[in-house]
Amino acid sequence: MWDLPQTGMPWAAAGYQGAISSGKTTCGLLIGSGIAMGLKAGIGIEHVPHEQKEVRAKAIGAVYELYQDFIKEFKVTSCTDLLGCDLSIPEEREKWINEKIYKQVCDVCLSFVMNKCRDMAEQGKF
């Protein structure tokens, strides 16, 4: 969405399924968006974030705003609470698939997060 570098990026969250499968995690959309915002903020900067306090503060503020607006919209950030099922339990994971809970919850959250990130990027918030 923001012309992030492609090399190596698919691996940024390669292990996140392990968090989801634990049943004790924040919605992956928020985790991934926070990573993407940080990457976008750092495009063209050769120094590490703590050496670029202004840019880092902007990224922190953007991620904070995303989380706060997500909480206002959905009340929680926990996957289990959002879905009403625990993906670490095989029967509940099957329910999530068979009842297409992802369409009712994950797709709605995805739309919210993508729109929010796009709008904040257009406003220059990160």
Lookup: tokens for 39:
């990457």
pTM for this structure?
0.86
Reported as a single tens digit per residue, the pLDDT across 74-83 is: 999 999 999 9
DSSP string, 44-97: T--S-GGG-HHHHHHHHHHHHHHHHHHHHHHS--BHHHHHTS-TTSHHHHHHHH
Reported as a single tens digit per residue, the pLDDT across 44-86 is: 888 898 888 999 999 999 999 999 999 999 999 999 999 999 9
